Amino acid sequence: MKKEVYLTDTVTDESGADIAVMKVVLNGDGSTPNVMTVGTDNPVGFNDDGSPIFPQIDEDLLKQAQQKMMAQAIQIQKELTKENGGDPSKVNVIGAEIETKPQPTAQQTIQAAMMKSIASLQMQVVQLKKEVAKNNGN
């Protein structure tokens, strides 16, 4: 069973008018939540060039609401991630949930091949010494 949590909130100004709606979907995969904010105001008019005129909104109020929503989303995402057996500390870092195995550099690959060859040669030397000792003993 897959568990998802949908968070929504409406930002209202001091007069009670809705100025934005925020939404986020959380699924416990360890990813950083992505809160989407959409303005709800309709244009109050249009400029001569046809661009819409929107009412002034309180940017500070909107930023505070977004921060509060993000904090709550992070908390719930961490809980879901822990339930799913993931590492909740990765929720705070964008992209950390994507685990990639580091690829060795060309130099590391060459060094590994050389070490393998050296180990093989050392084994051959030991074997030859044993054979020489055995032949000298006869």
What is the band of 25 on the pLDDT scale with cuts at 50, 70, 90?
A: very high
d(CA 132, CA 125): 10
92: DSSP letter = G
Q: What is the pLDDT of residue 32?
A: 94
**Confidence class of residue 134 from pLDDT cuts 50, 70 and 90?**
confident
Q: Assign 18 to helix, strand or coil.
A: strand
* pTM given for the model: 0.64
Three-state DSSP class for 135?
helix
Task: Report the distance separating Cα 82 and Cα 100, nearest Å.
Answer: 20
Name the one residue in this structure whose structure tokens are 């991630």: 81
39 close to 59: Cβ distance less than 8 angstroms: no
